[in-house]
C-alpha cells in the first residue's frame, strides 16, 4: 500500500509466517511465549494492516452489502485506472452497470485513510462443496467476494464511517439506475387472489420534465426548490421530529398540466408513483393496508380527489349539528347518540377521518421520504381539513396558458425561441383563457410538409375564435342579467302597486 503493491506485502507476510511456524516447532513453551510477544511487535511493524472480507453470499442468501460495494467500486473504477472491468445489465435497471473483474485491484481514499479493494472469484470444486451427486450436470459453483485492506490505525474510520459511506453511495447509484415504476390499486379480483399484493406495477416512462412543463417560471422555480429541500431534508425532519413527507395540492381547470406536473416531479426525484384510486378502496382498513405496501422514495397520488369519493358530507353534517345543539340544548344527548351510531356505521367504509389518518397517521411515517399529491379541478369543493397546511404543504395552482408558458410549449413542440408572430400571440393569451393542453394541440405538426408558421397561424386562429366565443358568452350573460333585472324591477313595481291598493282598502 502506501508506496508498495499489495502483492509485495503479501509475499513478505508469507515469509514471516514460515519463520513463525519453524519457531513454534523448535522452541520450548516459555521461550515460545517471549518470542510470541516479540513476533506480534514484528508483525505490526511488517504488516500493520487489517483486512475485511465481504462475501457475495451470507448464509446462502445474497449479501446486500456485497451488491452495494460492487456498485460503488464500479462507479469508482471509471475515474481510477482499473484495467479489467465487467459490464452487466439487468431487466430492472435503466442502463448497464460497471464492476471490477476478478483479481482487479482499486484504491480509494476516505478521510485520510488509504484503502485497497480487490475482487476475488473462487470456483468451488465438487470435493469442496460435497454436492457431487446432486450437481452432476450443473455448472461449477462460484464464490465471489471483495477484500478491503487498510492500515490498522484507520480501523475506526473504516468500520465506523467508510463502510456506511460505501453502502449509502452504492444504494444511491442503484436507486438512480433502477427503472421507475407506476403502481395502481385498480386491480382485477384475479390479481388480488393471486397473492401478488395490493398494487400492480408497470414501468414508468413518462417523458415530462420541469424543462418541458409550461408554467410561470417563478412558480416553477419555487416548486423545484421545495422538492430539493424536501429530498435533502432527512436530518432536518428528524431534528424537528416530523415524519419525512410532504403534501402537494395541484388544482386548476382541466388540461392545465396537473398530471404532467406529477410526472415531472417523479422524474425529477426519480421516485415511483402509487396511483391511488379511492373508488377501489373498500374501507379505512383497506386504505391502511395499501399504504403499508408502498415503499419509501415514492409519490402517492390521488387524482380528482373531489370526484373520487364523498369525503365532505359527514363533516358538514357535524358542523350543522354543532349550530343546532347550541340553540337546542335538550336535544344534545340524542344528537351525541346519533353521531356515535354514524361513526359505528362508518367503520365499514372509507371516511374522511380514514383519509386524514392515511395522510398524517402514525402508519404514514413508515418508509418515510414520501410525497402525497392530490389533484382537483374544484379546490372549493374540498373539506378544509383535508388540504390544510401541514397536510397539503403547498397549494399549486395550475392555470391557463400565458405567454411565459407558451414560450416553453413553442420550444417543446416547434423548437422555436422567437418568431414575429409571438407578439400577436402574447396579446391574445393575455385576453383569452386557453389551457396549455389546447395550446399544445394547436402547436403540434399535423403533417410532415407543415412548418412552424402553419402551427402558429392555427393557434392564432383558435385564440381568436375562443376570444369571440368568450365575448359572445359574456354578452349573453350581460343580456341575461339585464333581462333579469328588468323582470325584478317590473315585479317590484307590481308588488309596490298592489301594496298601495291594499293600504287604500284598509284606510
Ligand atoms: N403545463 C403544461 N405543460 C406542458 N404540457 C401540458 C401542460 N398542460 C397540459 N399539457 C399537455 O396537455 C396534456 C394534458 O395535460 P394534463 O393531463 O397534465 O392536464 P390535467 O390538468 O391533469 O387535466 P385533467 O384535469 O383533465 O386531468 C398533456 O399530455 C400535456 O401534453
Q: How many residues does the chain have?
A: 507
- 375 and 247 in contact (C-beta within 8 Å)? no
How high is the pLDDT of residue 437? 96
Does 155 fall in a domain? yes
Does 444 fall in a domain? yes
Instruction: Look at ligand 1, atom 16, and give the residue with the nearest C-alpha.
Output: 257
Same domain, 258 and 207: yes
Q: Report residues whose beta carbon is within 6 angstroms of any ligand 1 atom.
A: 213-215, 254-260, 377, 398, 436-437, 440
| Most informative mutation of 256, 377, 443 for ligand 1 (most atoms within 8 A of CB) | 256
The boundaries of the domain holding residue 418 are: 402-507
How high is the pLDDT of residue 2? 47
ipTM associated with this complex: 0.98
| Coil, strand or helix at 124 | strand
The most distant pair of C-alpha atoms in the chain lies apart, rounded to whole Å, by 144
Same domain, 82 and 65: yes
Of 370, 397, 424, at which residue does a domain stop?
Answer: 397
Same domain, 367 and 343: no
How high is the pLDDT of residue 4? 53
Same domain, 328 and 296: no
CA distances (Å), origin 44, targets 17, 84, 211: 13, 32, 58
Same domain, 199 and 225: yes
Which has the closest alpha carbon to 13: 49, 47, 48, 38? 47
Residue 335's contacts (CB-CB under 8 Å, 6 or more residues apart) are: 321, 324, 325
Same domain, 249 and 380: yes
Does 8 fall in a domain? no
Same domain, 73 and 164: yes
Give dist(CA 358, CA 373) in Å, integer: 13
How high is the pLDDT of residue 226? 96
How high is the pLDDT of residue 127? 55
- 187 and 234 in contact (C-beta within 8 Å)? no
How high is the pLDDT of residue 324? 46
Burial class (CB in 10 A: 0-12, 13-18, 19+), 323: exposed
Cell numbers 393496508 correspond to what residue? Answer: 289
Strand partners, 374: 249, 302
Give dist(CA 264, CA 206) in Å, integer: 8
Does 345 fall in a domain? yes
For the CA of 215, the closest atom of ligand 1 is: 1
Same domain, 193 and 108: no
Does 23 fall in a domain? no
- Count of domains for the chain: 4
Whole-number Å distance, alpha carbon 93 to ligand 1 midpoint, is 28
Same domain, 246 and 360: yes
Q: Mean pLDDT by 10-residue block, N- to C-terminus, for the chain (507 residues)? A: 57 74 74 75 74 88 89 81 77 78 86 90 64 54 88 90 94 90 82 74 93 94 96 88 90 96 96 92 87 90 82 46 46 48 59 81 70 93 86 94 95 93 95 94 76 90 93 80 81 78 72
For the CA of 409, the closest atom of ligand 1 is: 4
CATH code for the domain of 210 = 3.40.50.300
How high is the pLDDT of residue 339? 46
How high is the pLDDT of residue 37? 76
Q: What are phi and psi of 117, to 5 degrees?
A: -100, 145
How high is the pLDDT of residue 191? 65
Whole-number Å distance, alpha carbon 260 to ligand 1 midpoint, is 5
How high is the pLDDT of residue 162? 94
Does 4 fall in a domain? no
CA distances (Å), origin 9, targets 1, 152, 155: 8, 14, 18
Instruction: Look at ligand 1, atom 17, and give the residue with the nearest C-alpha.
Output: 259
| Most informative mutation of 210, 215, 217, 257 for ligand 1 (most atoms within 8 A of CB) | 257
- 135 and 124 in contact (C-beta within 8 Å)? no
Does 116 fall in a domain? yes
Whole-number Å distance, alpha carbon 375 to ligand 1 midpoint, is 12
How high is the pLDDT of residue 323? 46
Same domain, 491 and 420: yes
For the CA of 262, the closest atom of ligand 1 is: 18
Same domain, 110 and 172: yes
Same domain, 228 and 366: yes
Does 13 fall in a domain? no
Each residue of 148-161: pLDDT tens digit? 999 988 999 999 99
Cell numbers 333585472 correspond to what residue? Answer: 485
Give dist(CA 425, CA 437) in Å, integer: 16
End-to-end CA distance of the chain: 120
Whole-number Å distance, alpha carbon 435 to ligand 1 midpoint, is 8
Amino acid at each position: 500500500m502506501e508506496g508498495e503493491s499489495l502483492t509485495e506485502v503479501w509475499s513478505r507476510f508469507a515469509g514471516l509466517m514460515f519463520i513463525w511456524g519453524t519457531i513454534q516447532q523448535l522452541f520450548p513453551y516459555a521461550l515460545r511465549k517471549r518470542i510470541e510477544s516479540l513476533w506480534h511487535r514484528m508483525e505490526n511493524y511488517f504488516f500493520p494492516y487489517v483486512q475485511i472480507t465481504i462475501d457475495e453470499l451470507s448464509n446462502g442468501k445474497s449479501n446486500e452489502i456485497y451488491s452495494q460495494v460492487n456498485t460503488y467500486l464500479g462507479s469508482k473504477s471509471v475515474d481510477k485506472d482499473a484495467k479489467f472491468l465487467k459490464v452487466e445489465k439487468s431487466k430492472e435497471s435503466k442502463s448497464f452497470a460497471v464492476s471490477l473483474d476478478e483479481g482487479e485491484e482499486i484504491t480509494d481514499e476516505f478521510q485520510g485513510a488509504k484503502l485497497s479493494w480487490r475482487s476475488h472469484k473462487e470456483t468451488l470444486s465438487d470435493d469442496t462443496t460435497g454436492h457431487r451427486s446432486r450437481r452432476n450436470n450443473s455448472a461449477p459453483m462460484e464464490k465471489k467476494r471483495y477484500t478491503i485492506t487498510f492500515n490498522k490505525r484507520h480501523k475506526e474510520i473504516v468500520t465506523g464511517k467508510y463502510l456506511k459511506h460505501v453502502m449509502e453511495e452504492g444504494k444511491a447509484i442503484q436507486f438512480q439506475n433502477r427503472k421507475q415504476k407506476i403502481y395502481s390499486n385498480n386491480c382485477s379480483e384475479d390479481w388480488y387472489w393471486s397473492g401478488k399484493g395490493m398494487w400492480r406495477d408497470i414501468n414508468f416512462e413518462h417523458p415530462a420534465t420541469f424543462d418541458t412543463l409550461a408554467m410561470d417560471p417563478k412558480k416553477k422555480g419555487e416548486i423545484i426548490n421545495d422538492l430539493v429541500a424536501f429530498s435533502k431534508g432527512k436530518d432536518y425532519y428528524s431534528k424537528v421530529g416530523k415524519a419525512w413527507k410532504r403534501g402537494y395540492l395541484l388544482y386548476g381547470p382541466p388540461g392545465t398540466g396537473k398530471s404532467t406536473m406529477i410526472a415531472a416531479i417523479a422524474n425529477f426525484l426519480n421516485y415511483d408513483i402509487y396511483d391511488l384510486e379511492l373508488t377501489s378502496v373498500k374501507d379505512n382498513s383497506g386504505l391502511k393496508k395499501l399504504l403499508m405496501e408502498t415503499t419509501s422514495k415514492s409519490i402517492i397520488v390521488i387524482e380528482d380527489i373531489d370526484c373520487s369519493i364523498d369525503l365532505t358530507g359527514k363533516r358538514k353534517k357535524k358542523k350543522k349539528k354543532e349550530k343546532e345543539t347550541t340553540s337546542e340544548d335538550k336535544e344534545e344527548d340524542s344528537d351525541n347518540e346519533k353521531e356515535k351510531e354514524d361513526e359505528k356505521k362508518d367503520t365499514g367504509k372509507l371516511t374522511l377521518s380514514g383519509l386524514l389518518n392515511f395522510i398524517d397517521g402514525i402508519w404514514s411515517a413508515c418508509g418515510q421520504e414520501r410525497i402525497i399529491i392530490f389533484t382537483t379541478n374544484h379546490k372549493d369543493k374540498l373539506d378544509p381539513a383535508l388540504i390544510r397546511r401541514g397536510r397539503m404543504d403547498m397549494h399549486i395552482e395550475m392555470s391557463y396558458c400565458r405567454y411565459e408558458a407558451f414560450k416553453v410549449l413553442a420550444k417543446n413542440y416547434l423548437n422555436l425561441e422567437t418568431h414575429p408572430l409571438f407578439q400577436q400571440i402574447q396579446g391574445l393569451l393575455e385576453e383569452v383563457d386557453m389551457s396549455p393542453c389546447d395550446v399544445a394541440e394547436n402547436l403540434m405538426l399535423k403533417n410532415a410538409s407543415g412548418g412552424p408558421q402553419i402551427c402558429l397561424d392555427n393557434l392564432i386562429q383558435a385564440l381568436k375564435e375562443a376570444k369571440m366565443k368568450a365575448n359572445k358568452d359574456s354578452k349573453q350573460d350581460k343580456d341575461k342579467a339585464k333581462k333579469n333585472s328588468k323582470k325584478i324591477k317590473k315585479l317590484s313595481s307590481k308588488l309596490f302597486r298592489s301594496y298601495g291598493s291594499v293600504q287604500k282598502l284598509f284606510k
